Every structure is written in C-alpha cells, then in structure tokens.
Amino acid sequence: MALDILVRNVALRNIDGLRDVGIANGRFVSIEMPSAAEAATLMLDAEGRMAVPGFVEPHMHLDKALTIERAPVNVSGTLTEAIKIMWDIKRNYTVDEIADRASRVLGRAIENGVSHLRSHVDVDPIGGTRPAEGVIKVRERFRGLLDIQIVAFPQEGIIKSPGTEALLREVMKLGADVVGGMPFNEASPSASRRHIEVVFEIAKEFDADIDMHVDETDDPQARTLEVLAELTIRNGWQGRVAASHTCALASYPRHYADHVIGRLREADVNIIANPATNLMLQGRLDDFPKRRGLTQVKELLAAGVNVACGQDCCQDTFYPFGQNDPLEIAFLLCHASHMSQPAEILTAMETVTSHGARALRFPMPVVAVGAVADLVVLDARDTCEAITTRTPRRWVIRRGNLIAESTIARHRYFDPKQAHR
C-alpha cells in the first residue's frame, strides 16, 4: 500500500525501541521496526522523539475566552466576582465575536496537538442562546481539525434563574451535546438537589451525557457531589456523568471524603480537575494555612475513579492566563497534587490523553494498526521531559493529514565563536 505519511524513528508509549509509523487513507496501516524507507508522499523523521495519539481538552469555556481584553479587573480574585463581571459582558455578546474569540483559542489548541475538546457555554436569560450559537458556529468552522462537544451550562442556576430550564432545552435542540449544571449556585440544599434532578430530566429527554460544575467552593459543607453520585445511580446514567472541579472535596474530613469517593466509584462518575483555575480562585478568603482548592486527585485515582484534567478558563475574568496547552495543565497538576514519582508523571500525561477521552466518551486514542491516524510528535524523548519543558509540538497529524508543525528546535546550541557569522 502506498503511504500518505511515514513517520520514521518515533518513540511510542508502551513499546520498546523506535518505530516507523505508516499512515494511509486517514488510518495507521503499519507500525514496524525502522528499516529502509518505504515510499510515502510525505516522509517525517522524528529522530527518536516521542509521540502521543492526540491530546484531549475535557473542560473549556470558549464563549468566555479572551474576554479579559475588555473586562474590569477581578479585584477580589474570587469566583463570585468573576461571575458578576461576566454579566455585563454577556449582555453585549454577539454570535460573531464569540466565534472569533473562540477561533483564536482553537487555533492555539490545534498547534498544541488537541484533537478532542469539550466546551461549556453559558445558558441563562442574560446571554440567551448567543453563547451556544457562537460556539456551534465555530465548531462547524473547525470541523475535521478537532472534535468539539458543547455543554449547555446554567452557571446562574436553574431554580433561582427563571427561564433557564426552557433555555437549556432550546440550546440542546440547537445542537449542544451535553447537559451541564452548577447545583451549588442555588439558594438552598433542596434547590441544589432539584437543580440536579432537572439536569437528569433534560439529559434523559435528549439521551445526552451530563457534565456539571460541582462544589466549586472551599466550603466543606457543600454536599452536591454526593447527591450527584446518588442520582447518577438512580437514573442509570453510570459512566455518562462528569463532575468538574469538585473543590470542596479537598476540604472534607477524611472519613466523609472517603465515603464520597466510594460513591463516585460506584456511580462511575468521571472527575475533571482544573488545576490552573482552581489554584488561582480557591482559598482567596483564607488566612494561613491557605487552602488551594484542587480536588483529591491522587485519592480518587487510587480508588479507581477516572480523573481527567482541563484548562477551564483562558484569559478571562476567572483566570488571566492560559494558552490551551495540555502539557502545561499536566505540569501544574504534578505540582499541585504532589505527583513526582515516575508512575505518577505517566498518570499525569494520561489525565490529558486517555483519561480525558474516557470522560468525554470519545473512542480511546491509540497508535495501532487500523486506528484513526491522530499523532502528535513532541520535541522530547519521554513523558517527563515533555511535561518538564512543555515542549513544542514538532508535528500534529489529524485523521492522516499534517495540520500543524513547529520548526522551533528546543535543543539548539550555538558556538559563541561562530555567533558573528
């Protein structure tokens, strides 16, 4: 078979030595020991660099991305003030400017090797359906370059925000894929429970998965995570639910945390941690010792709960940084969760690859004969080096097509004696 692309001398996870990887008709067709070069339309020599089968970004807010360019300063640095600042911005949204901002962020995502992405879009009477319409528009613009799931996200609440429930159904009809929620942003525990019940009602109506912002607070009395696990089992939605943030879990006493983690495992709820944003937002009102708000990643993993990690916010009122780079998120996760052992570093890479695919229920990304040819060649020899340096992506291949490349070589040394030439 004539090859479209041959990637030579590449290092692959769980395979000893280097391999030549052949691609044709959008799929991997050969993975062999290096040998005499086969005929290929495009020949790429990885020279021992490692590759992963595409990164997964499981939690973004494309509708809010880059709004820091016109937002007032979040003086307190808190989640509460960030939400309030967004009210005026959302009132002035247009579909086209949302799509244009999101496009800039997605361009960077592609350069960074992201092949699958899930974005929450605000659904409330303030912005109406415009956030969803803008991201649906950009999803079409980038179709074929990366797969995008859209979550209908009622950040302002459902029970305390009249009209939101109807808007959620409208946005699902427009083309959103997943039903979102934020149950702790209600006025009482009973309202929070009803919030979750409504989300399940809509999810069952549209046969959709669920991804909720859960207990994004330092408050150890926040209890919506356990309710979510309970209702997941009751509704038979095991494996189809993700709980994002779950910051309060880090404030629970050990016995209650272990109980909740056990319930999450029983319900097969996926956890999506967002280390960058939550390290920035949580603990703002603490004196010392100061909580940092990141969920109990290692404890969840040890219990068999699937944990993925996402960027969450990109240069908005919640988080002023962010460049949609999964390696940066894995790097922050390692620090915030004390993941320094070799096996833990490998797991950190999985939180932005295979764990993310499982949480989003995309097909598991693999480099194997017959699989879709998504491949990201990194300017690194192994996982630790890749996360340490947040290395450039040498080549990004998507469905058998080269869609991005970097000519920047990190290992570039110059002889001072030759510098004048």
Catalytic residues, by residue number, are: 216
What is the residue type of 232? T
Nearest Cα to Cα of residue 305 among 217, 214, 242, 215: 242
* Secondary structure of residue 81 in the 3-state scheme: helix
Cα 327 to Cα 25: distance, rounded to the nearest angstrom: 29
What are the structure tokens assigned to 373, written together? Answer: 């040819």
Nearest Cα to Cα of residue 351 among 368, 328, 372, 373: 328
Angle of helix 224-234 relative to helix 189-206, nearest 10 degrees? 40
Which residues lie closer than 8 Å to 222 by C-beta, 6 or more apart? Answer: 184, 215, 248
- Terminal CA-CA length for the chain: 46
Question: CA torsion, points 39, 40, 43, 47, in degrees to nearest 10?
Answer: -60
What are the structure tokens assigned to 252, written together? Answer: 């629970």
> Do you find a cis peptide bond into 289, omega within 30 degrees of 0?
yes
Cα 320 to Cα 183: distance, rounded to the nearest angstrom: 25
What is the residue type of 404? A
Nearest Cα to Cα of residue 313 among 67, 55, 28, 3: 67
Q: Report residue 234 CA to chain centroid gap.
A: 27
User: Rounded to 5 degrees, what are φ and ψ at 358?
Assistant: -65, -45
Yes or no: say if 133 and 63 are a contact pair by the CB < 8 Å rule.
no
Cα 397 to Cα 400: distance, rounded to the nearest angstrom: 6
Q: Does residue 175 come out as left (phi exceeding 0), alpha (psi in the -120 to 50 range) or beta?
A: left
Tokens 């009973």 found at: 190
